[in-house]
Every structure is written in structure tokens, then in C-alpha cells.
């Protein structure tokens, strides 16, 4: 169920408030473009600065608008275990298909602390949980051994791996087996990630290149790899400048600017994030042009 091009959906704002109409439009854009799943209220969705009401609203809107056509993997992580449990329970109550739970940031828990945090969330709900391991933002790195312990629990099904260490794919596959779902959290390395045993990407780039990202993932995951791998490499080369441009400044400011050029949403972000600089705008425009998106 959880594979292919899964968009880490941006949250559009209008006058610093959630733009619900635009958000619904974005959801339907992905339904039409072949996107395989949606993550509302992730980091790319600016979850740190969404109010609790907004956080719940974007999850509910995704569930309502997708109508079961593609999975909704709700971002429900927090550095407060109690808050993460509350958000995960809410996501389950709306009908979300899974929860994406980030490793607790700022607190810097030990491996045992990470285990107990995820176990508490696991024990409180009945929906699948995908661990979001992103050391550059959370400052903690969940070990493969801790992940293997968690995989023994009833609801832990996989990982969004944003370590940028491709050897982790091999290590995790060897330790947990092929049933452990491995999703890349890095667009630029998604090709190699899938070739090593990954099954998809929770993608920033898919916000502005939904169809291309879907075609790329389908090509890498096809059983007939001899014919489609060349296509995957071709699309990957086309998208690589865009992948890189969307992280020249803190995400999601660059991808929101790119989306604004495609008339998908405004470039507005919430403080402490700010709009991208003029020099970054040039890089993004060039990358979109290289991908034939503008």
C-alpha cells in the first residue's frame, strides 16, 4: 500500500492562514497526476508552525478529499510523546491510512528513549506507523537495532529514511527483511535507494513535478527493470537540478516558490521561515525549465 511517489504536501497560506480551497485543489492535482500517496502535516507541510486545529484540519481534508483513492499517511510526530499519541489517535479517527512519526527533536533521547517513545504511540493506536528518521533536523539517529526492536511491535511497518546514507537501506533490509517498508526521504538519492531495496519516496519535488515523480517511481519499481531502468535514469537526470534547487534554502520555502511559478499555491511561508532570495529564485527557475515544467 505504501510505495511509489508519495508527496510531502505543502500547506498553502493566505494572509498567514490556512488556504483551505487551495489545499483541496492541491490534493486533487495529485489525484489527477498519478501520485501514490499524500503526507499532510509533515515537515514540508510546516507542521512546526501549524496550530493544533490546522494540523488536524489538513489531515481531515486529505482523508475526505482522497476518498480512499490513495493512502493518506498523516504526519503526527512530536517531541512530546503525549502530543504524538494525541495526534496519531486523531489521525486514526479520521480514517487516515497510516501515521508518519518523526524521531523526537530537541530532547535528544537515547536509543531506549526512542524505543519507548514509539512503543507508547504504537500501544495507543491501531494504524500502521512509519518511523521518520531524519538526523539533520531531529539531531538523533535511530539505530538499525532500535528499528528492528520496534518492527516487532504490531503497528510499526517501515521507515522514511532521510539519513542520506544509502548503506542504511542494505542494513535495514538485512536486519528486518523485505516486509519492512523502506521509503526514501531524499529525492536526489531515490533512484539508488530503490535499487537497493526501497519501495518509494516521500517526496518534496513531487509538489511541483507530480507526474514526473510518479513516472520515475513506477519505472524504478517495475518488475521489468531491463526496459524501464533507462527511463528512470532519464527522468532522474532531468529532475536532479530541481531536487537540489529545492534545498538551496530551508525547505519548504524553495518548493513553495516553485509551486507559485506553476500557479499551484502562493509562496507564503510562516516565520521563522522566509521567502527565498532572488539568487535562489534564479536557480529554481532554471531547474524548472530544465525539467520542462515552465
Catalytic residues: 132, 160
Q: How far apart are CA 233 and CA 238, in angstroms?
A: 9
Q: Which residues contact 21 (CB under 8 A, 6 or more apart)?
A: none
- The H or E element that residue 122 is part of is helix 111-124
Residue 294: exposure state from Cβ atoms within 10 A (0-12, 13-18, ≥19): middle
Rg from Cα positions in the chain: 18
β-strands 200-203, 4-8 pairing: parallel
Closest CA to 61 of 23, 107, 116, 105: 23
User: Which of helix, strand or coil describes residue 76?
Assistant: coil
Amino acid at each position: 500500500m505504501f510505495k511509489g511517489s508519495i508527496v510531502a504536501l505543502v500547506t498553502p497560506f493566505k494572509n498567514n492562514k490556512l488556504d483551505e480551497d487551495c489545499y483541496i485543489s492541491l490534493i486533487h492535482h495529485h489525484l489527477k497526476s498519478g501520485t501514490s500517496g499524500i503526507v499532510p502535516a509533515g515537515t514540508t507541510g510546516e507542521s512546526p508552525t501549524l496550530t493544533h486545529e490546522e494540523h488536524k484540519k489538513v489531515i481531515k481534508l486529505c482523508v475526505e478529499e482522497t476518498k480512499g483513492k490513495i493512502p493518506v499517511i498523516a504526519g503526527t510526530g512530536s517531541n512530546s510523546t503525549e502530543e504524538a499519541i494525541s495526534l496519531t489517535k486523531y489521525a486514526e479517527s479520521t480514517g487516515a491510512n497510516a501515521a508518519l512519526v518523526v524521531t523526537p527533536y530537541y530532547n535528544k533521547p537515547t536509543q531506549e528513549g526512542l524505543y519507548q517513545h514509539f512503543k507508547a504511540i504504537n500501544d495507543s493506536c491501531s494504524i500502521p506507523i512509519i518511523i521518520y528518521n531524519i538526523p539533520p533536523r531531529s539531531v538523533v539517529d535511530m539505530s538499525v537495532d532500535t528499528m528492528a526492536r520496534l518492527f516487532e511491535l504490531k503497528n510499526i511497518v517501515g521507515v522514511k529514511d532521510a539519513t542520506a546514507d544509502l548503506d542504511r537501506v542494505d542494513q535495514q533490509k538485512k536486519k528486518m527483511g523485505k516486509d519492512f517498508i523502506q521509503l526514501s526521504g531524499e529525492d536526489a538519492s531515490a533512484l539508488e535507494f530503490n535499487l537497493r531495496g526501497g519501495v518509494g519516496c516521500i517526496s518534496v519535488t513531487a509538489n511541483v513535478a507530480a507526474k514526473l515523480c510518479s513516472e520515475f517511481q513506477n519505472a524504478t519499481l517495475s518488475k521489468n527493470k531491463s526496459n524501464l531502468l533507462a527511463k528512470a535514469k532519464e527522468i532522474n537526470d532531468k529532475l536532479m537540478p530541481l531536487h537540489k534547487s529545492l534545498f538551496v534554502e530551508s525547505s519548504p520555502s524553495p518548493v513553495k516558490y516553485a509551486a507559485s511559478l506553476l500557479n499551484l499555491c502562493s509562496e507564503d511561508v510562516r516565520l521563522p521561515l522566509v521567502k527565498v532570495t532572488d539568487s535562489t529564485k534564479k536557480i529554481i527557475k532554471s531547474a524548472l525549465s530544465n525539467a520542462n515544467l515552465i
